[in-house]
Amino acid sequence: MAEQQDAVDPEPILSVRDLRVTFGSFTAVDGSTFDLFPGETLAVVGESGSGKSVTSLSIMRLVELGTRGKIEDGEMLFRLPDGEVVDLAQLNESEMREIRGNQISMIFQEPLTSLNPVYTTGNQVAEAVMLHQQVDRDVATERALEMFRLVRIPDPEQRLAQFPHEMSGGMRQRVMIAMALSCDPTVLIADEPTTALDVTIQAQILGLMRDLRETTGAAVMIITHDMGVVAEVADRVIVMNQAKIVESGSVYDIFENPQEDYTRALLSAVPRLGSMTGLADPAPFPLVDSAPS
Amino acid sequence: MSSDSAGNLVEVRGLCKVFPTGGGNKVHAVEHVDLDIAPQETLAVVGESGCGKSTLAHLVMRLLEPTAGSIMLDGVDIGSLKRRELRQHRRKAQIIFQDPFASLDPRRPVGQAVAEPLLVHGVARGADADDIVAELFTLVGLTPSMMRQYPHQFSGGQRQRICIARALTLEPKLVVADEAVSALDVSIQAQVINLMMELQRDLGLSYLFISHDLAVVERVSHRVAVMYLGQIVEIGPRSAIFENPQHSYTKRLLDAVPIADPRQRRERPLISGEIPSPVWAPGTSPERVELVEVDTGHFAARED
């Protein structure tokens, strides 16, 4: 952790301890323990079914909604702005609603399915502000405009009046980020935020997320399968495999000195631009033998 | 564009595909595309959503009829083939799609899916077909006993191996891979790509490899074509495209790829641009780009 930034607050904003989440007889998250610090970007990386998304849905307490998901065990200690610490695992639904969107917000992979097709994007962002901050529509619309500017949506005044289908995927994801940040959350959870986007748009959104961390100071937890994305944005990394955290450390530790076989196997499978420089013909991936199957 | 045009497996010339949309507007999905694929060569086509790369793949398979232009496959103009001839011809070119779950029938054992091309083309049946399928399963790294299982019993990577086995049943010369590894986890993706390379070496296959992932393309391809708004803006040997890109769009694409090394993290300028729409109003059409040879076999569109 030598490379961690000095500015990071020593007190975690979120402390997850021994989290265990099950779906019937299947254990999706098995004894996860980690901290999230203010102002940092923590990447949770793993392959399909590793439990990374279930981890984020558990923090939001969305894992139990409409599924057989159950938080069986563990604590998720969250520090409120006034310093009080609550255990998210113990809150009831109405207490959770105070936190969701206000203190902890989330953006998802597919911005089109996260937006309501029959309302304008400005209307939807304003509604989120009205819901959480008890302000009137004019104030909320003004706030929405401010957020559109923050996430660098061109022509923000016109864009407020547009419907989701009138926007590109990258623009929709900006709207989602604007909505997620509209109530000044202290934690932003981004679940595969750029996976559905083209690579040039992905670069723009990742750049935006890096900048927003500076301007808002929110802690960001990014869930991704893409080691390239991790290397671009993360300060610290948690590697998950089959419901367990197999390794965690600074982004430099994970990429340059991975300790676990699984992490090494995962890194060996990552396609790296420039790795073929000087070679005339295609070449297979030099896979580490213990590659997961 | 190769000087040795006689030896090419695929020769595409002046290929266009225009889709009508509402109000007389048209989507120019593929515009004036020329390309060649040599035997045992992998030509990758890269570009972003809507650039026309999948339409190009479907045209080469003649799953779509072109608006203009010709496609020669193994010396035959596939546009001129009648239905019966086309069926015979299809044995030479097969396609693998992105989602291996959607391209397998959930109610049939996977062995039947792989055997079907043999039955349809009257190549083999019964025990003979089973033998061929068993051999193919072994070839793609599965075991023959898996033939009797159903698609849901397999992981995504195994399903894609089954789709590859099915594509190989008729011993094609060309395999079109349309984002064939995009839905797979990286470790599985790497294994499937390694398998595809092995098969190319052992069976002498050519690949038309459609992908949005430049890092994958760099590993698999001999040559690369970059598509932008339906047109090829740059095409050439892989090393030329990746190490000496000429067109601004190629550079922009390469620059946007995340680098899996935190030491190389770049402060990217926040380019705000997006790709313009490929939809053209009545009476308008895209301007045709002119390719100039910048080095042997390396062509790039002239830019103002």
Q: What is the pLDDT of residues B193-209, one digit of tens each?
A: 999 999 999 999 999 99
How does residue B285 score in pLDDT terms, banded at 50, 70 and 90? confident
Look at residue A114 and tell me whether its pLDDT is greater than 90: no
User: Does A282 touch chain B if contact means CB atoms closer than 8 Å?
Assistant: yes
What does the pLDDT read at residue B34?
96
How many secondary structure helices (H) and strands (E) does chain B include? 9, 13
User: Does A274 touch chain B if contact means CB atoms closer than 8 Å?
Assistant: yes
Lowest-pLDDT range of A148-152, A244-248, B62-66: A148-152
* Positive/negative CA dihedral, B161, B163, B166, B172: negative
Chain A positions touching B220 (Cβ under 8 A) are: 282
User: Does A252 touch chain B if contact means CB atoms closer than 8 Å?
Assistant: yes
Q: Please give the interface size between A and B, counted as residue pairs whose CB atoms are below 8 Å apart.
A: 159
Nearest-Cα distance to chain B for A20, in Å, is 24
Nearest-Cα distance to chain B for A210, in Å, is 9
Query: Which comes out higher in pLDDT, residue B101 or B122?
Result: B122
Average pLDDT over residues B248-274: 80
User: Does A153 touch chain B if contact means CB atoms closer than 8 Å?
Assistant: no
How many residues does this entry show for chain A?
293
Rounded CA-CA distance B157/B97 in Å is 13
- Measured CA to CA in angstroms, residue A1 lies from A9, A225, A262, B14 at distances of 14, 22, 20, 57
How high does pLDDT run on average in chain B? 90
User: Does A215 touch chain B if contact means CB atoms closer than 8 Å?
Assistant: no
Chain B positions touching A211 (Cβ under 8 A) are: 270
Residue A80 dihedral angles phi and psi, to the nearest 5°: -75, 165
Question: Closest Cα to residue A45, out of A206, A230, A190?
Answer: A230
Rounded CA-CA distance A263/B187 in Å is 11
Lowest-pLDDT range of A205-209, B205-209, B221-225: A205-209
- Judging by DSSP bridges, how do beta strands A14-23 and B10-20 pair with one another? unpaired
CB of A57 within 8 A of CB of A236? no
Which of A152, A171, A200 is best to mutate for the B interface (most B CBs within 10 A)? A200
DSSP B288: P
Residues 6+ apart with CB under 8 A from B15: B30, B32, B33, B34, B56, B59, B66, B68, B69, B70, B71
Longest dimension (CA), chain B: 63
User: Does A43 touch chain B if contact means CB atoms closer than 8 Å?
Assistant: no
Average pLDDT over residues B31-45: 96
- Yes or no, beta carbons of A279 and B239 under 8 Å apart: yes
Predicted confidence (pLDDT) per residue in B82-97, tens digit:
988 888 888 999 999 9
User: Does A2 touch chain B if contact means CB atoms closer than 8 Å?
Assistant: no
Look at residue B146 and tell me whether its pLDDT is greater than 60: yes
Q: Look at phi and psi of residue A155 and say left if phi exceeds 0, alpha if psi is from -120 to 50, else beta.
A: left
Nearest-Cα distance to chain A for B263, in Å, is 8
Q: Amino acid letter at A197?
A: L
Query: Quick count: other Cβ atoms within 10 Å of Cβ B251?
Result: 12
What does the pLDDT read at residue B269?
59
Across the interface, which of B197, B214, B275 has its CB nearest the CB of A282?
A: B197
Query: Which comes out higher in pLDDT, residue B278 or B121?
Result: B121
Rounded CA-CA distance A201/A219 in Å is 23
Look at residue A7 and tell me whether its pLDDT is greater than 60: no
- Yes or no, beta carbons of A282 and B222 under 8 Å apart: yes
* Residue in the structure block whose two tokens are 């022509």: A155
Rounded CA-CA distance B166/A18 in Å is 46
What does the pLDDT read at residue A113?
79
Rounded CA-CA distance B233/B46 in Å is 11
Spacing of C-alpha B235 from chain mean position = 15
Rounded CA-CA distance B56/B71 in Å is 11
DSSP B282: T
Average pLDDT over residues B216-226: 96
Look at residue A59 and tell me whether its pLDDT is greater than 90: yes
Residues 6+ apart with CB under 8 A from A19: A29, A31, A32, A33, A55, A58, A71, A73, A74, A75, A76, A89
Nearest-Cα distance to chain B for A249, in Å, is 13
